[in-house]
Amino acid sequence: ARTETLTRHILRLAPRNLAAWRARLYIASKEDKPDRMIEALSRLYVLDPERRARYVDALAEIGMDTSGQAYFLNAISHHPPWGRVASLHVIAASDDDKFLLALVNAYPDNQSQYLEKLTQEGDWAGAYIAFLSLLAPEVRINLASPFDPAFRGSPAPRPFNWLLNNAYTSLEPRGGLSARFSGASQVWLSKQAITLSPGNYTLSTSMSGHTVPEGGYFRWEVACIAGKRLAYLNVRDLLPIRHNYIKQFAVPHGEECDFQYLVLFGMGGEFPRSAQAMIHDVSITSTDERTY
């Protein structure tokens, strides 16, 4: 009690006093008060940069303890300077999916890392369910395959949103993806995980740009997550005007292919001549007859 009174007095006179904040952290930990521990650790994180790694570890421990989760979520909602890195620690170490989903709802910057953790564990279905739950209702009811087909840019998490190779691509302000590469070797330019049921589909893309005969060109590819390629669409004859390119393909029944990757590649030509393109949109539509 005397130490508590003394630290309050010290911090009124010197709010940046490290010894007083460490004493308050010690008291809060002995009294098992997560809210006060977070308060002290937050101040120490700012005031004592040499020990930030220790403070982040301590904050993450609070987030992984059921008695501290509510306080951790409340602190995260204010986006403190330690928030993202401590949240990543929790995502990496915790198996409490309900809490992790609440955490990434409160701290959207880490949504892609959470879905990546699930997919690395092989839980693609769980990752997709989490992805849908993180979308706004008006976005969820208008889902297309792929997500954001016109490359307008969206904060929705990957891998069910576009992952771009920033060395070769960029989003245009009014929509569309600009891509340019040397044509010397194969590089991936953009990719997204999708989920298609068994059946027949049409892959369609609208592109413009510049390629030369025997030089670099572009390829769209659909492949099962497990690795089996389902289709590829080569685009070798780009022109300055927009043109549509299509490819029919099928997702087989009875195979391990509930989830797929849609990838845009830059393909090396016989001669290393550069290629550039504007991808206006890309879509995958079912060609099977529907019964109601």
pTM of the model as a whole: 0.84
Phi, psi of 208 (to 5 degrees): -145, 165
pLDDT tens digits along 106-131: 888 899 999 999 999 999 999 999 99
Q: How far apart are CA 267 and CA 219, in angstroms?
A: 7
pLDDT on residue 290: 58
Nearest residue to 94 via CA among 131, 125, 54, 121? 121
Q: How far apart are CA 291 and CA 140, in angstroms?
A: 23
Q: How far apart are CA 251 and CA 262, in angstroms?
A: 13
Look-up of token digits 């504007």: 278
12 vs 152 pLDDT, higher one:
152
DSSP output for 33-83: -HHHHHHHHHHHHHH-GGGHHHHHHHHHHHHHSTTTHHHHHHHHTT--TTH
pLDDT on residue 256: 86
pLDDT tens digits along 165-214: 999 999 999 999 999 999 888 999 999 999 999 999 999 999 999 999 88
Q: Is the pLDDT of residue 262 over 70?
A: yes
Two tokens, residue 18? 């490290």
pLDDT on residue 291: 45
247 vs 14 pLDDT, higher one:
247
DSSP output for the chain: -HHHHHHHHHHHH-TT-HHHHHHHHHHHHHTT-HHHHHHHHHHHHHH-GGGHHHHHHHHHHHHHSTTTHHHHHHHHTT--TTHHHHHHHHHHH---HHHHHHHHHH-GGGHHHHHHHHHHTT-HHHHHHHHHHHS-HHHHTT--SSSSTT-----PPSSSS-EE-TTTEEE-TTS-EEEEE-SSS-EEEEEEEE---SEEEEEEEEEEEE--TTS-EEEEEEEETTS-EEEEEEE----SS-EEEEEEEEEPTTSS-SSEEEEEEEE--SS---EEEEEEEEEEEE-SPP--
